[in-house]
Amino acid sequence: MSAVTPVPDSDDAAILGAIDKWIEKKVRPVAMDLEHADAWPADLVDDMIELGLFGALVAPEYGGLGLSAQTYAHIVARISEEWMSLTGIFNSHLMMALVVQKFGTDTQKEYWLPRFASAEMRGALALTEPDAGTDLQAIRTTAVRKGDVYVVNGAKTWISNAIQGQVCALLVKTDLNAQPRHKGISMLIAPKVDPETREPLKGVRNGKKLEKLGYNGIDSGEFIFEDYECSADLCLVGGEEGRGFLMATGGLEIGRINVAARGVGIARRALSESVNYAQIRQTMGKPIAEHQAIQLKLAEMAVQARAAELLVADAARAYDAGGRVDLEAGMAKFFASEAALSLATEALRIHGAYGYSKELVLERLYRDAPLLCIGEGTNEMQRLIIARQLVARNPA
């Protein structure tokens, strides 16, 4: 509904065209039913594999599409307009893949990335624990090296793809006494099944599937590790202990751009539904779009949606240019998620009783939007990141 930032090149435009056709033909007819049933969208996942979305940001030399963050953000926003949950299924997987692509050894890249790009092994970024969310340095899951393997014990929670996935990038403590604490944190690639035989591995199991307000369809669950063993050479990302915190926070940058792009999608859909309805619904003998109170709402919604889109485009360009994008990604994530929540709420109010009905998409937008203000770092934390980066980049 808002003006759309141009796509970088014609090849990417073709990819977006294919995404649009898939959304119209395959996603739209089933999204409502799958969402309300909280059902794993197996057929749509197969479609996303065929479209190459699980390798969207993986380099072509490893079988991926090698898309820019700008194109990726467009894809996420468009899918989120129809059903946001689908974007989480491949984004969590890509965050794991990017940890290996950015920080892994050559052997690790050659072994894992083709499996990730093809979705032969789908997975997640496993950071959060019952007592460690935003404060990642407080994790308690441990990995002790014994010869050629690491022995892992601990638990992770609120992990997307935990149940349906086969592998995760696992944040662990390898040195309990390190100071500062982040120097004792490492990253492992931890498969649930043998990558060669597909047989389940000992020592790792899923806990319960977590019930949620929204964001249905994608599984959010728990990992439990009990004397789980994995190869040190293949699984310690980068081959060096103590760098996991850097890897985790580096992976969150694209995650925050993803969350911001989801916010753009929700904001667009809320605005579109509201503009259309306001021209159909009549009170006092005229469409409510002609009432000043509704016009004020629509105008503010349009500005918020467009501003969110521009901040996401800015963050994606900065990511593609290389270097740290804490500031840009934080600003985009903060504003776009708050815009999504605001627009979803206003859209529901514009629609009145119909907005409260499960027959319309608005109640789903209203349930999905709050997650964006929490996931990939709370918006309270984003404010702190933005302020710190402003000061760091502009010394007096």
Decide if 67 contacts 15 (C-beta within 8 A): yes
Task: Region of 66 please: left (phi>0), alpha (psi -120 to 50) or beta.
Answer: left
Q: What angle do CA 166, 171, 177 make, to 5 degrees?
A: 150
What DSSP assignment string belongs to 315-358? HHHHHHT-S--HHHHHHHHHHHHHHHHHHHHHHHHHHGGGGG-T
Q: Which one of the listed residues 129, 328, 346, 376 is annotated catalytic? A: 376
Two structure tokens written together for 94: 């890509």
Look up residue 384 and give its two tokens. 């702190």
Task: Round to whole Å and give the CA distance between 30 and 35.
Answer: 9
Please state, as a whole number, how many other Cβ atoms lie within 10 Å of the Cβ of residue 150. 24
Q: Give yes or no for a contact between 255 and 91, defined as CB atoms under 8 angstroms apart.
A: yes
Q: Report yes or no: 305 and 271 within 8 Å, Cβ to Cβ.
A: yes
Q: Which two tokens stand for residue 372?
A: 């964006």
Helix (H) or strand (E) segment spanning residue 153: strand 149-160
Q: How many CA atoms lie within 13 A of 115 on its CB side?
A: 21
Please confirm, yes or no, whether 24 is among the known catalytic residues.
Answer: no
Query: End-to-end CA distance of the chain, in Å?
Result: 42
Catalytic residue positions, numbered: 376
